[in-house]
Chains A and B, each alone.
Chain A
Amino acid sequence: MDYSSFLQMHEEFSLLGVMIILLLYDIFASEKYLKYFQPIAIVLFLVHIVLNCVPRETFQVSGGMYEYLPIHSYIKTFLNIGTLIVFLQAHKFLNEDANRIKRGEFYFLTLSTLLGMYFMISAGNFLVFYLGLETASVPMAALVAFDKYNNKAAEAGAKYILLAVFASSISLFGISLIYGSTGTLYFNDLPALITGTPLQILAFVFFAVGLFFKISLVPFHLWAADVYEGAQTNITSYLSVISKGSAVFVLFTLLVKVFASLITEWQPILWILAVLSITIANLFAIRQKNLKRFLAFSSISQAGYILLAIISGSAIGMSSLVYYVLVYIFSNLAAFGVISVIEERTGKINIQDYDGLYQTNPNLSFVMMLSLFSLAGIPPFAGFFSKFFVFSAAASQGFYVLVFIALLNTIISLYYYLLIIKAMFLNKSDHPIEPIKSDFFARVSFAVCTLAIIAIGFISPIYDQIHLISFGM
Chain B
Amino acid sequence: MNFLSLYILILVLMMMGLFLSKSRKQIQIIMITGASFLLLLSGALTYLYLTERAAGNTAEMLFRADSVWYTPFNIHYSVGVDGISVAMLMLSSIIVFTGVLVSWKIDPMPKEFFLWFCLLAIGVFGFFISIDLFTMFMYYEVALIPMYLLIGVWGTGKKEYSAMKLTLMLMGGSALLLVGILGIYFTTGGSTMNILELSKLKVPLEMQRYFFPLTFMGFGVLGALFPFHTWSPDGHSSAPTAVSMLHAGVLMKLGGYGCFRVAMFLMPEAAHEMAWIFLILTGISVVYGAFGAIHQTDLKYINAYSSVSHCGLVLFALLMMNQTATTGAILQMVSHGLITALFFALIGMIYGRTHTRDIRLMGGLMKVIPFLGVSYVIAGMASLGLPGLSGFVAEMTVFVGSFQYADTFHRILTIGACASIVITTVYILRVVGKVIFGPMQDKHHETLTDAVMYERIPVIVLTAAIFGIGMFPGWISSMIGDSVLPLISQFIR
Which residues of A are found within 8 Å of B214, using beta-carbon distances?
404
Which residues of A are found within 8 Å of B190, using beta-carbon distances?
396
A400 beta carbon closer than 8 Å to chain B:
yes
Stretch from B64-72, B274-282, B338-346, B481-489 at the A interface: B64-72
- Asked whether B171 lies within 8 Å of A395 as measured between CB atoms, the reply is no
Q: Select which of B148, B153, B210 is within 8 A of A400 by beta carbon.
A: B210
A407 beta carbon closer than 8 Å to chain B:
yes
B160 beta carbon closer than 8 Å to chain A:
yes
* Minimal beta-carbon separation of B71 from chain A (angstroms): 6
* Minimal beta-carbon separation of B258 from chain A (angstroms): 15
A336 beta carbon closer than 8 Å to chain B:
no
- Asked whether B148 lies within 8 Å of A379 as measured between CB atoms, the reply is no
- Asked whether B183 lies within 8 Å of A400 as measured between CB atoms, the reply is yes
- Asked whether A414 lies within 8 Å of B168 as measured between CB atoms, the reply is yes
- Asked whether A425 lies within 8 Å of B138 as measured between CB atoms, the reply is no
Stretch from A39-47, A216-224, A281-289, A386-394 at the B interface: A386-394
- Asked whether B72 lies within 8 Å of A319 as measured between CB atoms, the reply is yes
Q: Select which of A373, A392, A464 is within 8 A of B182 by beta carbon.
A: A392
* Minimal beta-carbon separation of A345 from chain B (angstroms): 24
Which residue of chain A has the shortest Cβ distance to B109 in the bound complex? A358
- Report A394-428 CB contacts with B as 1/0, cut-off 8 Å: 01101010011001101100110010011001100
A378 beta carbon closer than 8 Å to chain B:
yes
* Minimal beta-carbon separation of B118 from chain A (angstroms): 12
- Report B53-90 CB contacts with A as 1/0, cut-off 8 Å: 00000000000000001111101000000000000000
A118 beta carbon closer than 8 Å to chain B:
no
The listed residue with most B CB atoms (<10 A of its CB), out of A378, A407, A460, is A407
Query: CA of A39 to CA of B182 in the docked complex: distance in angstroms?
Result: 47
Query: CA of A396 to CA of B72 in the docked complex: distance in angstroms?
Result: 12
Q: Select which of B149, B175, B186 is within 8 A of A411 by beta carbon.
A: B175
- Asked whether A464 lies within 8 Å of B178 as measured between CB atoms, the reply is no
Q: State whether A411 and B171 are in contact (beta carbons under 8 Å apart), knowing that A384-B138, A396-B190, A460-B69 are contacts in the complex.
A: yes
- Asked whether B186 lies within 8 Å of A395 as measured between CB atoms, the reply is yes
- Asked whether A403 lies within 8 Å of B152 as measured between CB atoms, the reply is no
- Asked whether A396 lies within 8 Å of B178 as measured between CB atoms, the reply is no
- Report B118-134 CB contacts with A as 1/0, cut-off 8 Å: 00000000000000001
Which residues of B are found within 8 Å of A72, using beta-carbon distances?
none
Query: CA of A411 to CA of B172 in the docked complex: distance in angstroms?
Result: 6
B414 beta carbon closer than 8 Å to chain A:
no
* Minimal beta-carbon separation of B446 from chain A (angstroms): 35
Which residues of B are found within 8 Å of A467, using beta-carbon distances?
71-72
Query: CA of A415 to CA of B170 in the docked complex: distance in angstroms?
Result: 12
B455 beta carbon closer than 8 Å to chain A:
no
Q: State whether A389 and B73 are in contact (beta carbons under 8 Å apart), knowing that A410-B171, A411-B168 are contacts in the complex.
A: yes
B164 beta carbon closer than 8 Å to chain A:
yes
Which residues of A are found within 8 Å of B172, using beta-carbon distances?
408, 411
B101 beta carbon closer than 8 Å to chain A:
no
User: Number of B residues contacting the other chain (C-beta, 8 Å)?
Assistant: 35
Chain B interface, DSSP helix/strand/loop, else mixed: helix
A249 beta carbon closer than 8 Å to chain B:
no
Q: Select which of B152, B175, B210 is within 8 A of A407 by beta carbon.
A: B175
Which residues of A are found within 8 Å of B182, using beta-carbon distances?
391-392, 395, 400, 403
Q: State whether A425 and B152 are in contact (beta carbons under 8 Å apart), knowing that A403-B182, A414-B167, A415-B164 are contacts in the complex.
A: yes
The listed residue with most A CB atoms (<10 A of its CB), out of B167, B185, B210, is B167
Which residue of chain B has the shortest Cβ distance to A380 in the bound complex? B142
* Minimal beta-carbon separation of B266 from chain A (angstroms): 16
A129 beta carbon closer than 8 Å to chain B:
no
The listed residue with most B CB atoms (<10 A of its CB), out of A319, A373, A392, A410, is A392
Q: State whether A418 and B164 are in contact (beta carbons under 8 Å apart), knowing that A400-B182, A407-B175, A425-B153 are contacts in the complex.
A: yes
Q: Select which of B71, B134, B152, B210 is within 8 A of A388 by beta carbon.
A: B134
- Asked whether A464 lies within 8 Å of B142 as measured between CB atoms, the reply is no
Kindly identify, within residues 175 to 192 of chain B, every residue whose CB is under 8 Å from any CB belonging to chain A: 175-176, 178-179, 182-183, 185-186, 190
* Minimal beta-carbon separation of A131 from chain B (angstroms): 35
A252 beta carbon closer than 8 Å to chain B:
no
- Asked whether A392 lies within 8 Å of B138 as measured between CB atoms, the reply is no
- Asked whether A392 lies within 8 Å of B73 as measured between CB atoms, the reply is yes
* Minimal beta-carbon separation of A17 from chain B (angstroms): 36
Q: State whether A384 and B141 are in contact (beta carbons under 8 Å apart), knowing that A414-B167, A414-B168 are contacts in the complex.
A: yes
Which residues of B are found within 8 Å of A421, using beta-carbon distances?
148-149
A463 beta carbon closer than 8 Å to chain B:
yes
- Asked whether A464 lies within 8 Å of B148 as measured between CB atoms, the reply is no
Query: CA of A391 to CA of B175 in the docked complex: distance in angstroms?
Result: 11
User: Number of A residues contacting the other chain (C-beta, 8 Å)?
Assistant: 32
Which residues of A are found within 8 Å of B75, using beta-carbon distances?
460
* Minimal beta-carbon separation of A389 from chain B (angstroms): 7
Which residues of A are found within 8 Å of B167, using beta-carbon distances?
414, 418
B145 beta carbon closer than 8 Å to chain A:
yes
- Report A9-31 CB contacts with B as 1/0, cut-off 8 Å: 00000000000000000000000
- Asked whether B152 lies within 8 Å of A379 as measured between CB atoms, the reply is no
Query: CA of A421 to CA of B148 in the docked complex: distance in angstroms?
Result: 9
- Asked whether A403 lies within 8 Å of B168 as measured between CB atoms, the reply is no
Query: CA of A415 to CA of B214 in the docked complex: distance in angstroms?
Result: 22
Q: Select which of A379, A408, A415, A464 is within 8 A of B138 by beta carbon.
A: A379
Which residue of chain B has the shortest Cβ distance to A458 in the bound complex? B69
Which residues of A are found within 8 Å of B73, using beta-carbon distances?
389, 392
A316 beta carbon closer than 8 Å to chain B:
yes
Which residues of B are found within 8 Å of A319, using beta-carbon distances?
72
Query: CA of A378 to CA of B160 in the docked complex: distance in angstroms?
Result: 19
The listed residue with most B CB atoms (<10 A of its CB), out of A373, A378, A414, is A414
The listed residue with most A CB atoms (<10 A of its CB), out of B69, B176, B179, B210, is B179
Q: State whether A404 and B175 are in contact (beta carbons under 8 Å apart), knowing that A373-B145, A414-B167, A464-B70 are contacts in the complex.
A: yes
Which residue of chain A has the shortest Cβ distance to B172 in the bound complex? A411
* Minimal beta-carbon separation of B363 from chain A (angstroms): 34
* Minimal beta-carbon separation of A391 from chain B (angstroms): 6
Query: CA of A118 to CA of B148 in the docked complex: distance in angstroms?
Result: 42
Q: State whether A407 and B149 are in contact (beta carbons under 8 Å apart), knowing that A384-B138, A422-B160 are contacts in the complex.
A: no
Which residue of chain A has the shortest Cβ distance to B207 in the bound complex? A400
Which residues of B are found within 8 Å of A378, using beta-carbon distances?
141, 145
Query: CA of A445 to CA of B72 in the docked complex: distance in angstroms?
Result: 31
* Minimal beta-carbon separation of A188 from chain B (angstroms): 27
Which residue of chain A has the shortest Cβ distance to B148 in the bound complex? A418
Which residue of chain A has the shortest Cβ distance to B139 in the bound complex? A379
Which residue of chain B has the shortest Cβ distance to A419 in the bound complex? B164
- Asked whether B72 lies within 8 Å of A316 as measured between CB atoms, the reply is yes
- Report B142-168 CB contacts with A as 1/0, cut-off 8 Å: 100100110011000001100010011
- Asked whether A464 lies within 8 Å of B72 as measured between CB atoms, the reply is yes
Query: CA of A404 to CA of B87 in the docked complex: distance in angstroms?
Result: 34
- Asked whether B71 lies within 8 Å of A464 as measured between CB atoms, the reply is yes
* Minimal beta-carbon separation of B273 from chain A (angstroms): 19
Which residues of B are found within 8 Å of A404, using beta-carbon distances?
175-176, 179, 214
* Minimal beta-carbon separation of A147 from chain B (angstroms): 36
Q: Select which of A373, A403, A426 is within 8 A of B179 by beta carbon.
A: A403
Query: CA of A384 to CA of B171 in the docked complex: distance in angstroms?
Result: 13
- Asked whether B141 lies within 8 Å of A379 as measured between CB atoms, the reply is yes
Taking A404-B176, A422-B152 as known contacts, 17 extra A-B pairs with beta carbons closer than 8 A to each other, sorted by chain A number, are: A378-B141, A378-B145, A380-B142, A384-B138, A388-B134, A388-B178, A395-B183, A396-B186, A396-B190, A400-B183, A403-B179, A404-B214, A407-B176, A407-B179, A418-B167, A422-B160, A425-B153
**Could you pull out 5 A-B pairs where Cβ atoms are within 8 angstroms?**
A379-B142, A395-B183, A403-B178, A404-B179, A407-B178
Binding site for B on A (CB under 8 A): 316, 319, 373, 378-380, 384, 388-389, 391-392, 395-396, 398, 400, 403-404, 407-408, 410-411, 414-415, 418, 421-422, 425-426, 460, 463-464, 467
A-B CB proximity, top 9 nearest:
A407-B175, A395-B182, A426-B152, A379-B138, A467-B72, A379-B141, A404-B179, A460-B70, A378-B145
